[in-house]
Amino acid sequence: MSTKVQIPIKEKKSTWSVLIGAAFIMATSAIGPGFLTQTAVFTEQYKASFAFIILLSVIIDIGAQMNVWRVIGVSGLRGQDIANKVFPGLGYFVAACVALGGLAFNIGNIAGAAMGVNVLIGIDMKVAAAISAVIAIVIFLSKQIGNAMDMFTKVLGLLMIVVVGYVAFATQPPVGEAVLRSFVPQEFSFVALITIVGGTVGGYITFAGGHRLIDAGITGKENVDEITKASVTGIIIASVMRVLLFLAVLGVISKGFQLDPASPPASAFKLGAGMIGYKFFGVVLWAAAITSVVGAAYTSVSFLRSFSKNINDNYRYWIIGFIIISTLIFITIGQPVKLLILAGSLNGLILPITLGTMLLASTNKNIIGDYKHPKWLLWAGIIVVMIAIYAGYKSILGIGKLF
């Protein structure tokens, strides 16, 4: 069962609001506990040279996301439906990978939300997890789920950027050296590259905003320019957050401090801005985690909607069930810091499959009709797939060093 909807767009203002909302859903899906942990860990390991890895990742992210969003937007089909049209049965495999990856990340997201509440008010982690889960569930009980998600992710996304920006200013990082090392790095790591790429556009994340546009009816080649702008905006939002967090941590380690392995970003905030910085970390961690819970649950279930009428007709309840299951797994099992880094790496390994599928779809008239996908964008996507495959291979060899 494919969903292909085109709704005439009457008001540019409301359309742009949805596009920005889609960008924030994607960006805040990326900015979760793993995002915070990965950035802090790799900044401590590679110091100012991590700026080069971030810059390279942004270029790769934009190339991947523009391709994915354009194909989804023009075709009006969700990722799994496109994959099944490219190769029968592929959609089921992609959906399984994305949904399982989304579940793994969501356990970490719930853990992060619980930790954020614990930092702020000191209540038990399990209780904090349950409270956070209820807040996320309320979003999907709204009559206007899309609008509720848009507003929720916009407000918390902007809050995170402002708070991390303050901490970055407070730590007084060596900005000049960071700029220099953005182009002349002293160290490089494929593990770090594939991990942060996977944490930004891997797995379910790049599809979060694309599927939101389908649900809002913003599809068709007449909207391709707006879709493209929104796709780049999503990457820019996530990248601004990454850079500010990198600078905040760099400012701390450049003064000779060492981060606490149990919670690298928390110790960076506390060392950089004292107790208020630690409380700010609680705010950022909760906001990052709870928006990622919303994005992961929404997108993971959206990959299953095409395969069952029951799921499609009752998708809000399936999303709620997804959140409840994630919460119960965290409460009974838990989620260590290093597993978040590993999950980001594995998400990156899915990227060549999902992006490669979208590139094949971009040349298939049965999927995109008479839309002409730019050759330069197609080749940029191919290069990204090749880089992702090679980086993935190198990261598999190097992941063991993290454990």
What number is the average pLDDT over the span 51-59? 95
Q: What does each C-alpha distance from 117 to 153, 264, 368 come to in angstroms?
A: 18, 17, 45
CATH code for position 216: 1.20.1740.10
Nearest Cα to Cα of residue 140 among 318, 290, 402, 327: 318
Q: What is the pLDDT of residues 70-113, one digit of tens each?
A: 999 999 999 999 999 999 999 999 898 888 878 878 888 898 89
Residue 117 lies in a domain: yes
What number is the average pLDDT over the span 358-377? 92
Q: What is the pLDDT of residues 248-294, one digit of tens each?
A: 999 999 999 999 988 899 999 999 889 999 999 999 999 999 999 99
What number is the average pLDDT over the span 115-141? 93
Query: What pLDDT was estimated at residue 346?
Result: 59
Residue 8 lies in a domain: no
Strands (E), 147-242: none
Q: What is the pLDDT of residues 302-341, one digit of tens each?
A: 999 988 899 989 999 999 999 999 999 888 876 545 555 5
What total number of domains does the chain contain? 1
Residue 33 lies in a domain: yes
Which residue type sits at 55? L
Residue 2 lies in a domain: no
Residue 25 lies in a domain: yes
Residue 85 lies in a domain: yes
Which residue type sits at 162? V
What percent of the chain shows pLDDT beyond 90? 61
Query: What pLDDT was estimated at residue 347?
Result: 59
Please state, in angstroms and rounded to a whole number, the distance separating the CA atoms of residues 334 and 313: 32
Instruction: Give residue 209's domain range.
Output: 17-402
In the predicted model, is pLDDT for residue 16 greater than 50? yes
Query: What pLDDT was estimated at residue 364?
Result: 93
CB < 8 Å & 24+ apart, contacts of 79-82: 79/207, 79/210, 79/211, 79/303, 79/354, 79/357, 79/358, 80/303, 80/304, 80/306, 80/307, 81/2, 81/3, 81/306, 82/357, 82/358, 82/361, 82/367
Residue 6 lies in a domain: no
Please state, in angstroms and rounded to a whole number, the distance separating the CA atoms of residues 380 and 390: 15
Residue 212 lies in a domain: yes
Using an 8 Å Cβ cutoff, are 19 and 231 in contact? Answer: no
Q: What does each C-alpha distance from 152 to 136, 149, 232 come to in angstroms?
A: 10, 5, 20
